[in-house]
Amino acid sequence: MNKSIRFLSLASITFVGILFTNTISQSNTQEIKNVAESYEIKAVKLPKNLNLAGERVPIERHDIRERMDRELLVNTYWQSNGLLLIKRANKYFPVLEPLLKKYGLPDDFKFLALAESGFIDETSSVGAAGMWHFMKATGKEYGLEINKNVDERYNIEKSTRVAAEYLKKSKQRFGSWTLAAASYNAGNHGIAKRLKTQGVTSYYDALLPDETERYVFRILALKEVISNPKKYGFEFDQSDLYILPKTHIVKVDTTITNIAAFAKEFGTTYKDLKLHNSWLRENKLNNKTNKIYEIKIPIE
């Protein structure tokens, strides 16, 4: 074999060796997917025109972007909870929307109610109750009847009126719906004190407790996801959503000694009557003052 042939052979062997080494190296460094091939978690692109009740969110600021991104990610990828909230929103938004309009509150505040309670009748660990999560003292201050027998924090119409009064008063005090929303979480006094101490007038400029720091952004995230469900991957048919059964009103100005028996008189059950009137807390209505109560009777 002459020298030129031997040189070409050695060069070919060297090239093949390098190619083989590179192939092994690439296969060793290639990441193996530990989930289904079609499963992907994508970063969420933040909308540029976010606002609460028409008040712009300064999304161009780094800290604001991160806080908004956190809540949007949580409410996008906590899929089971997100879908439940979408279903419940379909049930209760049609009730809330005309009430908010009636009491002069921006429509966006229906998302505050959703953020507060998730539209379930549970009392929080600190004693807040009803759709709007009022504390007893606040509810009584605004004229709600709250005792062992009747708790009007669970009355959607009456508690929405009180929420509107509270939020409009906060808006008048702070000049901002965004700060009014924040005060719903931290209290008017708490917000006012921190704004004064820090010498600022904007929610987005104030350093607040962590829960309040997240509060407005959670409302904004719920507004964005529920207003654009398909954009965030939520697929459903209209028939999948919850609806509120129809009812008619019976006015009562006397004592009801047995609500179970009262329900039967109107062709319904104790359970169904209580589901529509959760403000009735016992199996009786004392009504010693002959107050007029409106009881919802489900229509089959």
- Do 187 and 86 fall into the same domain? yes
Integer angstrom CA distances of residue 29 from 24, 35, 131, 141, 175: 9, 18, 53, 66, 57
Helix (H) or strand (E) holding 20: helix 3-29
Rounded alpha-carbon distances, angstroms, from residue 196 to 44, 146, 185: 35, 34, 18
Task: Look at phi and psi of residue 290 and say left if phi exceeds 0, alpha if psi is from -120 to 50, else beta.
Answer: left
Q: How confident is the model at residue 126 (pLDDT cuts 50, 70, 90)?
A: confident
113, 214: one domain = yes
Q: Which residue has the higher pLDDT, 32 or 137?
A: 137
One domain for residues 216 and 269? no
Lowest mean pLDDT among 109-118, 122-131, 220-229: 122-131
* pLDDT grade for 30, boundaries at 50, 70 and 90: low
Note whether 155 and 287 are same-domain residues. no
Rounded to an integer, the average pLDDT of 156-179 is 97
36 within a domain of the structure (yes/no): no
Residues 164 and 274 in one domain: no
pLDDT at position 40, please? 87
Same domain, 275 and 147: no
Closest CA to 173 of 186, 199, 185, 191: 191
Q: Are residues 107 and 228 in the same domain?
A: yes
- Domain contains 10: no
- Quickly tell me which residue has 């009126």 as its tokens: 161
Domain of 128, in residue numbers: 51-240
176 and 101 housed in the same domain: yes
- 208-218 burial string, b = 16+ CB within 10 Å, else e? beeebbbbbbb
Give the C-alpha separation, 113 to 76, whole Å: 19
- 205 vs 39, higher pLDDT: 205
pLDDT digits (tens, 9 = 90+) for 236-264: 999 999 999 999 999 999 999 999 999 99
The phi and psi torsions of 165 (rounded to 5 degrees) equal -60, -45
The whole-number pLDDT of residue 245 equals 95
Q: Which residue has the tokens 């407790």?
A: 209
- 232 and 260 both lie in a single domain: no
Query: How many residues comprise the chain?
Result: 300
Whether 8 is in a domain gets the answer no
The position carrying tokens 């060297």 is 14
φ/ψ region of 248 (left if φ > 0, alpha if ψ in -120 to 50, else beta) reads beta
